[in-house]
């Protein structure tokens, strides 16, 4: 919940020349009120726009919610689903993550599906158990043909906004667990070549290269470092 319309316009304007030669996909996910501005400002560039949430229903009595078709009508291409803050503060569950993911896919939105363990779960040795359950439930009843449209973001909850970061090896090992579970649910090729798995625990200019050097980490879901064009571009161009 950062940046008003003017700030979003200025951020994307500053960001465009800094990432124009990026060797990766660049997506900026802004609050609902900034989406139209972001789409217009990013037009003609290599920056795509995403929402921070999407509802599972196409329409109906869901006051305050936004449907996938409402987003695609604006020109939005991605939607973050199941972010830890949605789980922690707004009652998001594995079941609602699955429902939102299916709704996004049905409307042509590309879901960025977030999973990750809390500090208590990590310290009690339940990390693998938690991420296996979360990815299994998130992908329930989703066909293998849809996997190349899905981005998975592993975001250890204890590392978000705290300045703490999992070691590059720990992040890599947990993402391998997630990828192995996708292979179990679908196939090895599906896990290796169809699904991109990002790391989302306080990736920034100082640690991006080390994290991205890990073989299982395909990208980053950037938090605080995305609010400054100079910092975000350094991560993009690490």
Domain ranges for the chain: 5-236
- Sequence-ordered alpha helix ranges (H) in the chain: 5-19, 35-42, 68-74, 84-90, 94-107, 119-123, 127-138, 168-185, 188-189, 208-212, 229-236
In this prediction, residue 219 carries a pLDDT of 97
For 230, counting Cβ atoms within 10 Å of its Cβ (0-12 exposed, 13-18 middle, 19+ buried), the class is exposed
In this prediction, residue 159 carries a pLDDT of 75
DSSP annotation of 21 reads: T
> How would you classify the pairing of strands 47-51 and 26-29?
parallel
What does CATH list as the number for 5-236? 3.20.20.70
Short-list 18, 4, 107, CA closest to 56: 107
pTM, entire model:
0.95
User: d(Cα 57, Cα 15) in Å, to the nearest integer?
Assistant: 34
Query: Phi and psi at residue 60, in whole multiples of 5°?
Result: 135, -165
Q: Strands across the sheet with 110-115, in order? A: 26-29, 47-51, 78-81, 110-115, 151-154, 196-199, 219-220
For residues 102 and 95, the answer to whether their CB atoms sit within 8 Å is no
Short-list 202, 82, 105, CA closest to 152: 82
> How would you classify the pairing of strands 47-51 and 78-81?
parallel
In this prediction, residue 161 carries a pLDDT of 64
User: d(Cα 118, Cα 124) in Å, to the nearest integer?
Assistant: 10
Active site residues: 83, 155
Mean pLDDT in runs of 10 for the chain (238 residues)? 98 98 97 98 98 98 97 98 94 97 98 94 93 98 97 88 78 97 97 96 92 96 95 96
User: d(Cα 232, Cα 230) in Å, to the nearest integer?
Assistant: 6
């Amino acid at each position: 919940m950062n940046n008003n319309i003017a700030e979003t316009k200025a951020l994307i304007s500053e960001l465009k020349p800094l990432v124009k030669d990026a060797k990766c996909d660049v997506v900026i996910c802004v609050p609902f009120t900034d989406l139209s501005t972001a789409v217009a400002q990013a037009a003609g560039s290599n920056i795509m726009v995403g929402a921070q949430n999407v509802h599972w229903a196409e329409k109906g009595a869901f006051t305050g919610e936004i449907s996938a078709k409402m987003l695609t009508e604006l020109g939005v291409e991605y939607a973050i689903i199941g972010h830890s803050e949605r789980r922690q503060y707004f009652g998001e569950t594995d079941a609602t993550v699955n429902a939102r993911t299916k709704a996004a896919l049905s409307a042509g939105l590309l879901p960025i599906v977030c999973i990750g363990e809390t500090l208590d779960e990590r310290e009690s040795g339940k990390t693998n158990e938690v991420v296996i359950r979360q990815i299994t439930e998130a992908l329930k009843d989703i066909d293998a043909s849809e996997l190349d449209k899905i981005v998975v973001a592993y975001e250890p909850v204890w590392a978000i906004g705290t300045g703490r970061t999992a070691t590059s090896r720990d992040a890599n090992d947990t993402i391998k667990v997630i990828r192995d579970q996708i292979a179990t649910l679908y196939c090895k090729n599906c896990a290796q070549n169809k699904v991109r798995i990002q790391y989302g625990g306080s990736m920034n200019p100082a640690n991006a290269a080390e994290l991205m050097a890990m073989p299982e980490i395909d990208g980053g879901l950037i938090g605080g470092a995305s609010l400054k064009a100079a910092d975000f571009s350094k991560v993009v161009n690490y």
